[in-house]
Amino acid sequence: MLDSKLLRENPKKVMSALKNRQFDTSLIDKVAVIDKKWREAVFKAETLKKQRNENSKEVGKLKKEGKAADDLLEKTRLIGDEIKKIEEDLGAIEVELNQILFQIPNIPFSSVPVGKDESSNKEIRKWGNIPSFSFKPKAHDEIGVALGILNFKEAVKLSGARFVVYHKLGAALERALISFMIDVHTKENGYEEVLAPVLVKAHSLLGTGQLPKFEEDLFKCSDDFYLIPTAEVSVTNLHRDEIIDYKKLPIKYCSYSPCFRREAGSYGKDTKGIIRQHQFNKVELVKFTDPAKSYDELESLTKNAEMILQKLNLPYRVVELCTGDLGFSSARTYDIEVWFPSEGRYREISSCSNFEDFQARRAGIKFKKDAGSKPEYVHTLNGSGLAVGRTFAAILENCQREDGAVLIPQILKPYLGIDAISAVY
């Protein structure tokens, strides 16, 4: 959510920034009108309340003195009725205003490249050598099925399309990757591990920006629960409606969770393999920072995520998203893309974003510099560190051998105790 004061005082700036996101700026004009109505109603209600408080005190005094207070009583009753009416209006105005405010995306950071879609994204850096094969590299799902470590038919039996069952060393590899990632982030990068609920209430999703606009991407359960699409939701909301001690910033969390996405808009896209699933595992990095330092923290967060790929020796590149490709809540985003030999291209494996105070304002997350100062909103950041299923797939593809075996990155040896997954083990 944007600051309504900013909208009030500098609507032109907001509009020009949001135009780059293909956003319909007529909503901004509407906000101004409703906001004015709201402030007038607030002032009126408060003036009347002041009058009522004074009158009530007077009534009490008169009654104690045994004097009649009927006139004043009646007059004050009418004031009460009026207050009630104004407050009803006020409630409706607030709903209307919030409905719009919740629909407005974040303002892109000043240096974000302007562009319509992903074709304007900017490559920042590349790492690693793209492997060359003396044979035609196979797709990860083909490799996994052949090795007996991935089974899609069983998954269809259980849950339908876009699910997978891991077997034997496949299940072990998935588990090993989760542990490995968490170990790196906790032991080397200074993150605190968190394991949080994957079922959350709507207000948590409102806090991070998935609701109200993106309900169709979510699985909704009964009893007002939603399955989280990312651990970002649970972990960011850990500090909802809190004022954090400045000395505790930055707070850095690392959290494994399964993630659940309906993939409503992607029928027919990535139907093969484990790239796009309704349920997948992810290790997420979340930071709460001093606004003055959040862009430095975005750089280090991105490098923390990259470190995983480096240790696994998987080639990747880092791309900055342009204004048109930026997520709803984000002010600046780096995507990390890993190389997929079977497709001959890089594919997203992590998305690292600075949300500035957009989520913090929605979720009420503040900090106080010292005892006397006024609370300010923190900046929140997060990024995948990494998407586990896609890392699994990337290992299968990049580390495959002609005989169908897959060499396991050496760094995983302590977790798996093997050098390769082959058809006969």
Closest distance of CB 362 from RNA, Å? 13
Q: Which residue from 24, 29, 30, 60 is in contact with RNA, where contact means CB under 7 A? A: 60
Strands (E), 150-302: 150-151, 165-166, 192-194, 199-201, 225-227, 242-245, 251-260, 279-289
Of residues 45 and 112, the one with the C-beta less far from RNA = 45
Of residues 40 and 299, the one with the C-beta less far from RNA = 40
Q: Was 4 annotated as part of a binding site? A: no
What distance in Å separates the CA atoms of residue 328 and residue 348, rounded to the nearest whole number? 18
**Rule CB under 7 A: which of 231-290 touch RNA?**
243
Binding segment for RNA (CB under 7 A), chosen from 72-80, 116-124, 395-403, 407-415, is 72-80
DSSP string, 74-118: HHHHHHHHHHHHHHHHHHHHHHHHHHHHTTPPPPPPTTSPP-SSG
What distance in Å separates the CA atoms of residue 320 and residue 155, rounded to the nearest whole number? 35
CB 194 within 8 A of CB 235: yes
Q: Which residue from 15, 59, 145, 199 is in contact with RNA, where contact means CB under 7 A? A: 59
Q: Which residue from 30, 77, 125, 248 is in contact with RNA, where contact means CB under 7 A? A: 77
Q: Was 348 annotated as part of a binding site? A: yes
CB 385 within 8 A of CB 308: yes
CB 323 within 8 A of CB 21: yes
User: What is residue 268's three-state secondary structure?
Assistant: coil
Q: Was 46 annotated as part of a binding site? A: no
Q: Does residue 8 carry a catalytic annotation?
A: no
Binding segment for RNA (CB under 7 A), chosen from 23-31, 69-77, 138-146, 401-409, is 69-77
Q: Was 162 annotated as part of a binding site? A: no
Of residues 49 and 213, the one with the C-beta less far from RNA = 49
**CA angle at residue 18 from 360 to 366, to 5 degrees?**
10
Catalytic hit among 234, 300, 330, 351 = 351
Closest distance of CB 37 from RNA, Å? 11
Which of the 8 DSSP states describes residue 326?
A: S
Binding segment for RNA (CB under 7 A), chosen from 16-24, 53-61, 131-139, 351-359, is 53-61
Retrieve residue 123's tokens: 């490559």
Binding segment for RNA (CB under 7 A), chosen from 25-33, 60-68, 142-150, 208-216, is 60-68
**Rule CB under 7 A: which of 344-373 touch RNA?**
366, 368
Which of the 8 DSSP states describes residue 138?
A: P
Q: Was 384 annotated as part of a binding site? A: yes
Catalytic hit among 21, 332, 362, 390 = 390
What distance in Å separates the CA atoms of residue 126 and residue 113, rounded to the nearest whole number? 19
Q: Which residue from 13, 63, 157, 168 is in contact with RNA, where contact means CB under 7 A? A: 63
Of residues 46 and 296, the one with the C-beta less far from RNA = 46
Give yes or no for residue 53 binding RNA (CB under 7 A): yes
CB 144 within 8 A of CB 150: yes
What distance in Å separates the CA atoms of residue 32 and residue 14, rounded to the nearest whole number? 12
Q: Was 351 annotated as part of a binding site? A: yes
Measured from the Cβ of residue 26, the count of other Cβ atoms closer than 10 Å reads: 8
> For the chain, what percentages of helix, strand and coil (3-state, to nearest 5) are there?
45, 20, 35
Q: Does residue 276 carry a catalytic annotation?
A: yes
CB 365 within 8 A of CB 208: no
Question: Which residue is associated with the tokens 């497709």?
Answer: 343
Give yes or no for residue 199 binding RNA (CB under 7 A): no
Q: Which residue from 56, 186, 279, 422 is in contact with RNA, where contact means CB under 7 A? A: 56
Of residues 104 and 298, the one with the C-beta less far from RNA = 104
What distance in Å separates the CA atoms of residue 281 and residue 305, rounded to the nearest whole number? 15
Q: Does residue 261 carry a catalytic annotation?
A: yes
Of residues 50 and 168, the one with the C-beta less far from RNA = 50
Closest distance of CB 289 from RNA, Å? 18
Closest distance of CB 241 from RNA, Å? 9
What distance in Å separates the CA atoms of residue 363 and residue 1, rounded to the nearest whole number? 9
Give yes or no for residue 80 binding RNA (CB under 7 A): yes
6: left (phi over 0), alpha (psi -120 to 50) or beta: alpha
What distance in Å separates the CA atoms of residue 76 and residue 33, rounded to the nearest whole number? 32
The closest alpha carbon to 390, from 343, 330, 321, belongs to 343
Q: Was 230 annotated as part of a binding site? A: yes
- Binding stretches for RNA (CB under 7 A): 4-5, 39-40, 42-47, 49-50, 52-53, 55-57, 59-60, 63-64, 73, 76-77, 80, 84, 91, 243, 366, 368, 374-375
Give the residue numbers marked as catalytic. 261, 276, 348, 351, 390
* Binding-site positions: 230-232, 261-263, 284, 348-351, 382, 384
Binding site for ATP: residue ranges?
A: 261-263, 348-351
